[in-house]
Structure 1
């Protein structure tokens, strides 16, 4: 399966999402390839930290690719792995568009803020362009860094569920420091101690939903 963590808003949590999915999938004895297709190379930095923490074995393979090479090299490598997870940058880049031509699933995190929601129309255009080449692509949005209280979460949910192009995943990740702290140690939030039970529950629920969706895209 080829999953893209994408979108066009920087800072929405795509790399954290991709890293957590890669770690959790590998923990189920899947052979995972994590592709860093982001100019900031945050996923590569995460894997470097993780390699140090895990005595040289991060548990999965990571490669850095850019531009059209994302499509070409993933097509060459995909048969060597059970799952491919591609982290793209927070812009409409050649790398992201190349990834979407071969992906089964696009996951787009949205923060409960106007600046994030205003990008939905452009995300829809990106998905429609990709589907013209890759009609099997399925796109899903979810709320990341959700507020602990207030109306923004529900307002964001209402906007996302109204899209005819991008489906909505109801599972939500809260705005919890444990995600960032775990990332800084090269770990998934489900590994890091002290354990944040709420964050783990949220990540487990999102993970289960994503990999329940994936087989339907075959």
Structure 2
């Protein structure tokens, strides 16, 4: 998302709040490949993340915070300061087992916020065609704390190949048009509220 926003001329801050530092690794590869990331990266973890992000909000068009999928102090700080949360689910039953923990956390965060958090969920690494997609999408669409977006991101080799170079699927020599469309449709829906016909 940071790369997509930067490609549109937006001033973007990417905050790596995950101890695994995946966003930092991706950005390092991106700098080696492109020479310029197109966005600013900072590492922040812990409760202080909220205060620092609040201070930097006026300086950027968009701030993207990556805290990983675990319930951590960094994730809670990010959810308390963010406008929108994007929660991906892999369409497998064991991934869906975590939904109660997710909804409990969202309920807790909503109770301390002045303005409600917009919590979106979508399918990530979805099979191209699978009953699992439909079953998990149906389950997610029934959860009141989350707004399910029917814009699945398929499990495409082009995405992992690009990521290994620090690129998005819409950059580089071999652009996968299907992967690009899926990602752009999802991001446009989140940022602009534009609904496009999509299937899960």
TM-score normalised per structure 1: 0.86
Q: Which secondary structure does the structure 2 equivalent of 1:145 belong to?
A: strand
Q: 1:80 aligns with which of 50, 59, 66?
A: 59
Unmatched 5+ residue regions in structure 1?
1-20
Secondary structure, aligned partner of 1:86? strand
Q: Tell me if the contact between 1:171 and 1:202 (Cα under 8 Å) persists in the aligned partners.
A: yes
* 2:108 aligned residue: 129
User: What's the CA shift for 1:136?
Assistant: 2.1
Greater relative contact order: 1 or 2 (C-alpha under 8 angstroms, separation 6 or more)? Answer: 1
Q: Which position in structure 1 is the counterpart of 2:71?
A: 92
CA RMSD of aligned residues (A): 1.2
User: Is 1:206 paired with 2:175?
Assistant: no
User: Structure 2: where are the runs of 5+ without partners?
Assistant: 195-200
Shift of 1:192: 3.0
Q: 1:58 corresponds to which residue? A: 37
Confirm or deny that 1:118 pairs with 2:87.
no
Instruction: Check whether the contact 1:104–1:137 (CA below 8 A) recurs between aligned residues.
Output: yes
After the TM superposition, list the runs of 4 or more consecutive aligned residues in structure 1 that deviate by more than 3 angstroms: none
CA distance in 2, matches of 1:127, 1:79: 26
The separation in 1 between residues aligned to 2:47 and 2:150, in whole angstroms, is: 33
Q: Figure out how many residues of one structure are paired with residues of the other and give that number.
A: 193
Aligned residue in 2 for 1:167: 147
Contact 1:190–1:203 under 8 Å retained in 2: no
Could you say which residue in structure 1 is the equivalent of 2:198? none
Residue 213 of structure 1, CA deviation: 3.8
SS at match of 2:13: strand
Is the partner of 2:175 in helix, strand or coil?
Answer: coil
TM-score norm. by structure 2 comes to 0.93
